A and B are shown apart, each in its own frame.
Chain A
Amino acid sequence: MNCVELQHSLAEVEDASTAEQRAHLRTCPSCAALVKELNLIASAAGDLREADEPSPRVWNNIEATLREEGLIRPAPRHIPSSFGARWGTFGWLVPAAAMLLLSFGIYLHQQSTKPTNIIARQAPTYAPNVATADLNDEELLQEIADNSPAMKTQFEENLRQVNESIRDTQGWVRESPNDAEARHSLMDAYQQKSMLFEMAMDHTLP
């Protein structure tokens, strides 16, 4: 192997580790110096890796653009974790039970506040729909404050989160009306609110 052949061979075997390359390098100080210098360049190159990261404006711009383009969707907010712990593995029963209990609760509540109308009215049936989000939160909070003041703060926070979740998912459904996941999330949010009302009434009814 001569000097020219060695240079060509370095493209394929850059560390000059073949027997032929090593034999040439033993007898040729110039090529040995060349290999040493190329190795020096390669090892010094690692220092050029940038330790810095892009400024926060990069992510901010990316996120803003993704939102504009509808690629980021509002994440449905989860019900407070204490709820999950409370209902455990039977969580799937919660919405159904909540609806039944809420219907019954509203019925009892009406009986206690308007006894003269009992005969004339039938118990209302409840189905989760957009109107659920419009139930009078303030009145219910007031009832809780009157009957179970210790629960008020926690209930207020839970109610705020559930309402926020409903607003988010309503926005998601408006943006993507054909998105089954969006509609499902909205129904979940309504069910969470109905469950919250049921729990509140459970504590406030005499």
Chain B
Amino acid sequence: MTEPRQQSAKEFNEAEAIERAKHGDAHAFQALYDKHKRRVYSLCLRMTANTAEAEDLAQEAFLQLYRKIATFRGESAFSTWLHRLSVNVVLMHLRKKSLPVVSLEETTQSTEDESPKKDFGAKDVMLAGSIDRMHLRRAVDSLPPGYKMIFVLHDVEGYEHNEIAKIVGCSIGNSKSQLHKARMKLRDLLKADRAVKAGRSKAG
């Protein structure tokens, strides 16, 4: 591309850009990219916690999108289609890395460990006040991918459960259930983190 980027992201509406992209218009491809790149990249970055990997995955997601764009008929929202592709690319990547990817079904089955704790009223560390961004990020990074995906889509990226259900390919109930479990898990992780910190300061 030799033209300035601002010019490339000119005033296409999305439907027009999609139609032009189907005919191989480079400006239309770039306009679609410019519109959606942040959200796709953010999702990839939160899921991988690695900028280089996130960029590679965002690139792969957009390439897959553009290769298939001629088949887009507008039955679903374009952004939903794109994010479904992105989620698939990310999950595929995690599988290739042989990380313990928890399937959606697995994560919704209750286990003894995940059952509601009856002792949460015990004298434990409270998450009072604000939560430090760095600690929260670290805790999110350590979530199992199944939980993490739903948490990132809902609480970080702001998707509704019905959108997540379409993007991830699960039921709305499943999405809600996983989100709750993800938050509970994060609460445990953050509390453990605070407890360690409190122990250190006492020892010091």
Binding site for B on A (CB under 8 A): 3-4, 7-8, 10-12, 14, 28-31, 33-34, 37-38, 40-42, 44-55, 57-59, 61-63, 65-66, 69-73, 75, 181
Contact = CB atoms under 8 A, between A and B. Distances in A.
A11 B180 contact: yes
Nearest to A36: B127
A80 B121 CA distance: 75
Contacts, number: 136
B135 to A, nearest CB: 10
Contacts of B38: 50-51, 53
B133 A40 contact: no
B186 interface: yes
Contacts of B151: 45
B180 A48 contact: no
A63 B118 contact: no
Contacts of A73: 23-25
Contacts of B152: 48
Nearest to B121: A30
B120 A30 contact: yes
B112 to A, nearest CB: 13
A73 B140 CA distance: 42
19 contacts: A3-B116, A3-B118, A3-B120, A4-B118, A29-B121, A31-B120, A37-B127, A38-B187, A44-B130, A45-B156, A47-B133, A48-B46, A48-B140, A48-B156, A49-B156, A52-B41, A54-B37, A59-B37, A181-B23
A10 B38 CA distance: 31
Contact of B1 (A47, A48, A52, A63): A63
A74 to B, nearest CB: 8
Contacts of A48: 46, 133, 136-137, 140, 152, 156
Q: Chain B contact residues: over half helix, strand or loop, or mixed?
A: helix
A36 to B, nearest CB: 8
Give the size category of B's interface with A: 35 or more
A14 B30 CA distance: 39
B24 A45 contact: no
B63 interface: yes
Contacts of B137: 48
Contacts of B180: 10-11, 14, 38
Interface of A (DSSP majority class): helix
> Among the interface residues A8, A14, A41, A72, which one has the most CB atoms of the partner chain B within 10 A?
A41
B30 A71 contact: no
Contacts of B26: 63, 66, 72, 75
B179 A46 contact: no
A181 B22 CA distance: 13
A10 B116 CA distance: 11
Nearest to A73: B24
A14 to B, nearest CB: 7
Contact of B186 (A41, A62, A63): A41
A50 B42 contact: yes
Query: Closest 9 CB pairs between A and B?
Result: A30-B121, A73-B24, A45-B155, A7-B116, A11-B180, A50-B42, A44-B131, A37-B127, A54-B41
Contact of B116 (A4, A49, A55, A66): A4
A44 B116 CA distance: 23
B167 interface: no
A55 B54 CA distance: 11
A61 B184 CA distance: 40
A58 B59 contact: yes
A55 B55 contact: yes
A54 B177 CA distance: 32
Given A38-B183, A41-B136, A50 B127 contact: no
A3 B116 CA distance: 8
Nearest to A65: B63
